[in-house]
Amino acid sequence: MSITYKFASAGDVDALVALINAAYRPAQDGGWTHEGGLVSGPRINAAQMRHTIADPHSVVILALAKQEVVACVHVQKQGSDSCIGTLTVAPAMQNTGVGKVMLARAEQHATEHFGARRLLMLVLSPRHELIDFYLRRGYVRMGVLQDFPVDAGVGVPMQPGMTLENLEKIIS
């Protein structure tokens, strides 16, 4: 299958919201990367995605197969660092290597265009298999946990005391 890549624009908002919510909070089996048993409610809405795309210090990289958005990743410049998040792969495309490619593209953009020397990300603490995925790609645990952002409009934790783990990767 041929995959092309591009930066998201306002015209991609609906497709991105549908992809992210289907992958993170599936109604049925959503592959191995979903948060279905941990967080309820939508992961993102159209207003949040429009804001992200409009941010001049931010890009959303898309992967398209047959003109359909099948993966995305968000990269945001934060001072001399970059934060990588919302790495999303359509459930049917998981375990095909697309996620690894998207992460590599995000890291490349962060270093080449944002000048980042340190990459940061937040992962739900109970998502051990996802944390392990990032550890295999050179990220390390910072030993810092933060409370789930219940007021951020990214869903409601289904467990009390839900935390996010901070990961980093130093670029030499």
Tens digits of per-residue pLDDT, 96-135?
999 999 999 999 999 999 999 999 999 999 999 999 999 9
Residue 107's φ and ψ, nearest 5 degrees, are -65, -40
Number of domains in the chain: 1
pLDDT in tens, 12-28: 999 999 999 998 876 65
Q: Determine the straight-line distance between the first and last CA of the chain, rounded to whole angstroms.
A: 34
103 and 73 Cβ atoms separated by less than 8 Å? yes
Instruction: Report the CATH number that the domain containing residue 20 is assigned in CATH.
Output: 3.40.630.30
Residues 126-138: tens digit of each pLDDT: 999 999 999 999 9
Structural domain of residue 146, as residue ranges?
Answer: 3-170
